[in-house]
Amino acid sequence: MKRIYGLIRKLGATSKYKGYFFVAEAVKISMRHQYKPMHITKDIYPCLATKYKSTPTNIEHDIRTLINV
């Protein structure tokens, strides 16, 4: 996980945004299922929402905020 955080930091993101942790977890999930086609809105966002007790819409918003910053 440290390696993923390092890569995200190299892109200019900081951990002060919630989306930072969501992106890291999304990368981890996609790496686990790299040979299976995955849809971000149907597979990853709901999985993250369940884990972090949120909604897929909030997860998407937080990730988009991180990307825009």
Give the type of residue at 53: K
Domain that holds residue 53: 2-68
Burial (CB < 10 A; 0-12, 13-18, 19+), residue 56, is middle
Number of domains making up the chain: 1
| pLDDT means over runs of 10, the chain (69 residues) | 90 91 94 87 94 95 92
The domain that contains 43 carries what CATH number? Answer: 1.10.10.10
Kindly report the pTM of this predicted structure.
0.86
First to last CA, the chain: 22
Closest to 26 (Cα-Cα) out of 2, 46, 11 = 46
